[in-house]
Amino acid sequence: MTFFKENEEQFRLFLDEAQVSFTEGESETPVNGYSYTGDEADGSTLINAKDVNNGNMRGKFISGLIRKKYSQDEVEAIILNGTSTERHAQELDGLQNYREECKSKIDELLSRQ
């Protein structure tokens, strides 16, 4: 699975796909399938993303994933604080690292289409 539109304002993403083998109930029959690392019960990740099209999908998905951890206000504060103190520098590094992680996850997701 890759992703689908949940409603007009949200998409359900299936990130970090990995092949796994499950054991089915009492029969203990092995079943091959996939697992995902999201916080939803099915392993998906629900993000806010409106007006998504083929031209802006990557950017909208990256932004939606970033917003799962950082609000717009938090991003602005971190960027405006810059690196004026050690704490501010660490916050900015944390944001940048998370942003790169989000980009990598979305690129992997979109490569499965």
pLDDT tens digits, one per residue of 5-16: 999 999 999 999
With tokens 């539109």, the residue in question is: 5
Residue type, 48: N
Find the domain containing 74 and state its range.
Answer: 3-111
Provide the pLDDT for residue 62: 98
Structure tokens at 41: 């019960």
pTM comes to: 0.89
- Res 24: pLDDT: 79
Main-chain phi, psi angles of 90, to 5 degrees: -65, -40
Calpha distance 43→36 (Å, rounded): 5
Nearest to 49 by CA among 39, 37, 59: 59
pLDDT bucket at 22, cuts 50 / 70 / 90: confident
Residues 6+ away with beta carbon under 8 Å from 92: 78, 79, 81, 82, 83
- At residue 52, the 3 state secondary structure works out as coil
pLDDT at 112: 94
pLDDT tens-digit map of 37-76? 999 999 999 999 999 999 999 999 999 999 999 999 999 9
pLDDT at 89: 96
Answer whether residue 25 shows pLDDT above 80: no
Summarize pLDDT for 73-103 with one digit per residue, the tens.
Answer: 999 999 999 999 999 999 999 999 999 999 9
Q: Total domain count for the chain?
A: 1
HSE at residue 22, side-chain half, CA atoms within 13 A, is 10
State which amino acid sits at residue 4.
F
